[in-house]
Amino acid sequence: MERMAALQSRPWVFAHARVIHDVFVLAGLSLVSLALWSASAQAAQPDHPSLAYTYPSHTLTLAASCAVCHGTNGHSASGMLGLAGMPAAQFISKLQAYRAGSLPATVMHQHARGLTETEIQALAQYFSAQSPGKTVLEPQPQALEQDHD
Amino acid sequence: MVGAGFAGATLAKYLRLWSNYGVEVIVVEQNRQFISCPLSNLVLGGSRELSSLTFGYDMLQRHHGIQWVHDQVTAIDPERRKLTLLRGELSYDRLVLAPGVDFDYSAWPELAEASARADLPHAWKAGPQTQLLRKQLEAMPDGGVFAISIPKAPFRCPPGPYERICQVAHYLKQHKPKSKIIVLDANPDIIAKKPLFSRAWQELYPGLIDYRPNSSVLHVQAAQHKLETEFEQISADVINLIPPQLAGKVAQMAGLNNVDSRWCKVDFRSYASSLAPEIHVLGDAIFSPQPKSAHIATSHAHVCANAIVALLRGEAPDPEPVFANTCYSFVSDDAAMHVANVYRYDAAKELMVTMEGGGLSEAASTLEGTYALSWARNIWSDTLT
């Protein structure tokens, strides 16, 4: 139920996704029709008229780098501190304290010292704008198929 | 997108996200399951099952509308912008390759046939070989010898062999304490996290690990379980031969492995190949001074996804991308340590360079063990959902 709720909170999943698990199985496509299908997929216009995104790519790359420990857009899957919705001033003062060495850390001082002031501020804005409390999805473990390369 | 490891799966997701679902993404992946190399050494140590590192791609496909083709690429035609697959053809506007690494057995003609090395798993791609190596360790007698051969750098996951030695030692110490590990390292020294690994070996596994630098394996007698270096011949009950590596087969097929005929040179602002600007290469297959890690692979994907969106808009990609790497290694079943750095594009050097301030853990700890598991759960969630 939690997972369904999480999905429903993301209306874009249904609004824009085109679900094709395996085009061959689904459509039973032959070699020729696959080529045609591929061509038509390319000819299709984007769902959105504009490719505009709110944040500069520099910030998106950096924020995504944080995701590896802190979760997508700061929504953490584990006990690790989530960054989504953290007030910008709090984010900035934490990162500055890590840089100065006044806040104990195992790893964050090493990351904070590699960033510029401007980058820290941009990340603070980015994460403060994410709504906190989203249920985070995790992939489920499964038995290994022995034909794996 | 050819290949859906950490780099490829991340590219597919973030290209959809950052184009506001405006770019059609088709993934071609030959395996039905994703198996995490990070944490897979713990399977050898006995504290994890491989199934706990094995996942499907269904959530990623469904949540982001990524079109998925379970097949294998057999040819790439850059002029016609077409891929030939076992079961059909695909055309593309932009092609991204994340083929991982391929293994080079050419130094050992006696192992040219796959059947000749069936008993010598590299286990350097998590999967059936990891399970085989674990079974061999379980079958090894107390008092036996485990030999591991480490190739010259660069290779996938520079701390990986040394973490593996910790994990095998952890298992042997508990269950087969009279046994020994012989490390034949082709490098002149431990190449990653040296002070931390040296300390772990001394403190946790005294007398168990016999480390021999500058030791390339010259000949292999698989049936007799023997290895020969320039200096000596070694008999071992279990042999973990990790071969030298190069860019994965699809990159070789496209002829993009133009650095030492092994790795692919790319522009670090877009990951476009230096030989074919409309083909991007990500992950372990590229030539780069950064470690070939999962976190770095996802960072390549982030920069590349942003660059593709910018290029489709007719804009220039970010001229100075910045990203981080955090890489944990387990020294036992519950204690870990890390190396972390921030990297920034340097236009004069045309490389990502290391920023001041990064470095290693002070010491391995169980606190960092919990952070390492947390890292894994978040990177799996980010990459696969």
Which among A21, A34, A65 has CB closest to B324? A65
B307 in a structural domain: yes
Same domain for B116 and B94: no
pLDDT at B89 over 60: yes
Same domain for B187 and B92: no
Per-residue pLDDT averaged across A118-124, rounded? Answer: 98
- CB of B103 within 8 Å of a chain A CB? The answer is no
pLDDT at B217 over 70: yes
Structural domains counted in chain B: 2
Distance CA A85, CA A68 (A): 17
**Using one digit for the tens of pLDDT, what is the confidence trace for B27-41?**
999 999 999 999 999
pLDDT category, A62, cuts 50, 70, 90?
A: very high
Chain A residue at shortest CA distance from B338: A107
B363 in a structural domain: no
For B328, the 3-state DSSP assignment is strand
Q: Return the pLDDT at A147.
A: 82
**Using one digit for the tens of pLDDT, what is the confidence trace for B104-147?**
999 999 999 999 999 999 999 999 999 999 999 999 999 999 99
Same domain for B312 and B287: yes
CB A148 within 8 A of CB B128: yes
Which among A12, A39, A18, A69 has a CA at the least distance from the CA of B38? A69
Q: What secondary structure does DSSP assign to B101-162, as a single string?
A: EEE--TT-GGG-SGGGGTTS----SSSHHHHHHHHHHHHSPTT-EEEEEEPSSP-B-TTHHH
Range of the domain at B210: 111-241
**Using one digit for the tens of pLDDT, what is the confidence trace for B171-180?**
999 999 999 9
Query: Which residues in chain B have Cβ-Cβ distances shorter than 8 Å to A21?
Result: 58, 61, 68
Can you give the C-alpha Rg of chain A in angstroms? 21
Q: Return the pLDDT at B209.
A: 98
Q: Return the pLDDT at A79.
A: 79
Same domain for B92 and B2: yes
Same domain for B288 and B198: no
Chain B (183-202) residues lying within 8 Å, Cβ to Cβ, of chain A: none
Q: Which of A34, A107, A118 to mutate to test the interface with B (most CBs of B within 10 A)?
A: A107
For the record, the structure tokens of B137 come out as 């360790």
Q: Return the pLDDT at A129.
A: 95
**Using one digit for the tens of pLDDT, what is the confidence trace for B255-284?**
999 999 999 999 999 999 999 999 999 999
Which among B21, B24, B361 has CB closest to A12? B21
Same domain for B89 and B15: yes
Strand partners, B246: B102
Which among B260, B268, B262 has a CA at the least distance from the CA of B349? B268
B303 in a structural domain: yes
A40 burial (CB, 10 Å; 0-12 / 13-18 / 19+) is exposed
Separation in Å, CA B283 to CA A139, B286, B314 = 21, 6, 25
Per-residue pLDDT averaged across B191-195, rounded? Answer: 98
- CATH number of B165's domain: 3.50.50.60
Query: Which residues in chain A have Cβ-Cβ distances shorter than 8 Å to B99?
Result: none
Per-residue pLDDT averaged across A121-148, rounded? Answer: 93
- CB of A40 within 8 Å of a chain B CB? The answer is no
Alpha-carbon gap: B177 to the closest alpha carbon of chain A (Å): 31
CB B301 within 8 A of CB B14: yes
For the record, the structure tokens of B367 come out as 């606190």
Per-residue pLDDT averaged across B203-219, rounded? Answer: 98
Alpha-carbon gap: B349 to the closest alpha carbon of chain A (Å): 18
Q: Return the pLDDT at A149.
A: 81
Same domain for B97 and B118: no
- CB of B312 within 8 Å of a chain A CB? The answer is yes
Domain boundary among B316, B348, B370: B316
For the record, the structure tokens of B65 come out as 């509308």
- The more confidently predicted of residues A8 and B321 is B321
Same domain for B127 and B184: yes
Distance CA B29, CA B49 (A): 24
Query: Which residues in chain B have Cβ-Cβ distances shorter than 8 Å to A38?
Result: 26, 89-91
Same domain for B194 and B81: no
B343 in a structural domain: no
Distance CA B376, CA B37 (A): 10
Per-residue pLDDT averaged across A63-86, rounded? Answer: 94
ipTM: 0.95
Which among B170, B152, B153 has a CA at the least distance from the CA of B216? B152
Query: Which residues in chain B have Cβ-Cβ distances shorter than 8 Å to A7?
Result: 63
Amino acid letter for position B131: Q
Which of A56-65, A106-115, A127-136, B358-367 is predicted with the least confidence, judged by mean pLDDT? A127-136
B372 in a structural domain: no
Q: Return the pLDDT at A5.
A: 34
Which of A29-33, A69-73, B119-123 is predicted with the least confidence, judged by mean pLDDT? A29-33
Mean pLDDT of chain B: 97
Domains of chain A in sequence order: 2-43 (no CATH), 57-128 (1.10.760.10)
Which among B311, B382, B295 has a CA at the least distance from the CA of B55? B382
At a CB cut-off of 8 Å and minimum separation 6, what does B161 contact? B148, B150, B183, B185, B242
Per-residue pLDDT averaged across B5-32, rounded? Answer: 97
Peptide bond into B291 cis (omega under 30): no
- CB of A9 within 8 Å of a chain B CB? The answer is no
Q: Return the pLDDT at A80.
A: 87
Mean pLDDT of chain A: 74
Task: Round to the nearest angstrom and report the end-to-end CA distance of chain A.
Answer: 35
Distance CA B217, CA B292 (A): 23
Per-residue pLDDT averaged across B343-352, rounded? Answer: 98
Which among A22, A68, A115 has CB closest to B298? A68
**Using one digit for the tens of pLDDT, what is the confidence trace for B148-172?**
999 999 999 999 999 999 999 999 9
CB B194 within 8 A of CB B159: no
Burial B139-166 (b: 16+ CB within 10 A, else e): ebeeebbbbbbbbeebbbbbbbbbbbbb
- The more confidently predicted of residues B297 and A40 is B297
Domain boundary among B201, B220, B241: B241
Q: Which of A4, A12, A59, A69 to mutate to test the interface with B (most CBs of B within 10 A)?
A: A69
Domain boundary among B241, B273, B290: B241
Same domain for B151 and B89: no
Q: Return the pLDDT at A53.
A: 60
